[in-house]
Amino acid sequence: MENSSSDKGPLLKLLISALKSSGCDFDLNRHVCCEPCSKLVTGGYDAEMNQIVVCQNTATNKSSVHGALAHEMIHMFDHCRAELDFRDVDHLLCTEIRAANLMHCSFLSSMVMGTASFIRIKKQHQECVKRKALASLMAVRDISEADANAALDRVFSKCYNDLEPLGRHLRRNSRDMERVYRERYLYGYGFAS
C-alpha cells in the first residue's frame, strides 16, 4: 500500500482529515496493516491497537480495499471522537449502524439484493442498515438474537441519524464522494491536515 495522497480516494482523504481534525493522528504505515482473515470479512478495527486490519485474502482489489478502509475508519473516527467502549454492546452496535449507514446500504445494493422499491427507499435503507449492523455485531460478539435486537431498539434512531463526518448518505456511482471531500471545511474538517 502506498502512502501517496493521490492513491487515496476523496472519501478516504475526508476520513483522514476528520480524524486529524478530531485530534487523532492517522499514519497509514502505523494505523493500517494487512493480514489473512476469515472469508466472512474484508477488514476489522482493533481499538486496543488503534489499528485497521485490511484482509489480504478477501479485500483483493482497489475498490474492496477502499471499502474496507472506509468502513473501519468510521469505527476509528467513532472511537476517537466518542471514546467508544467496544466491550459495551450498545457502543459496538452504534458504530456498526453508522458504518453500515454511511458506507453500505445504497439503493443499488437493494436492487442487487432484489429488495428495491421506489416507494420504500428510506425504509429499505433502514432495514439494510439494521441487517448489516446486526450481522456485524453477531459476527464479533457472542450475543443472543433477542439481546442484539433489544440493543438495536435502544440505539438505532440516535446512531442512524448521526451522519458525521460525511453529513449525508452517499449515492453510489455519483459525485457524492468528491462533494463531501470538497465540503469538509463546512463541517470543520481539513484544517489540521
Q: Provide the residue ranges of all domains of the chain, joining segments of one domain with +.
A: 12-162+175-187
**DSSP three-state, residue 80:** helix
76 closest CA partner among 133, 17, 130, 134: 17
3-state SS, one letter per residue, for 123-135: HHHHHHHHHHHHH
Catalytic residue check, 127: no
Rounded Cα gap, residues 148 and 132, in angstroms: 12
Spatial neighbors of 185 by CB under 8 A, at least 6 apart, are 191
3-state secondary structure of 33: strand
Q: What is the pLDDT along the chain (193 residues), one digit of tens a residue?
A: 334 333 468 889 999 999 999 999 999 999 999 999 988 888 999 999 999 999 999 988 988 898 899 999 999 999 999 889 999 999 999 999 999 999 988 655 444 444 445 555 668 889 999 999 999 999 889 999 999 999 999 999 999 999 999 988 877 667 888 888 888 888 888 764 4
3-class state of residue 192 by DSSP: coil
Given 35, 72, 127, 164, which residue is catalytic? 72
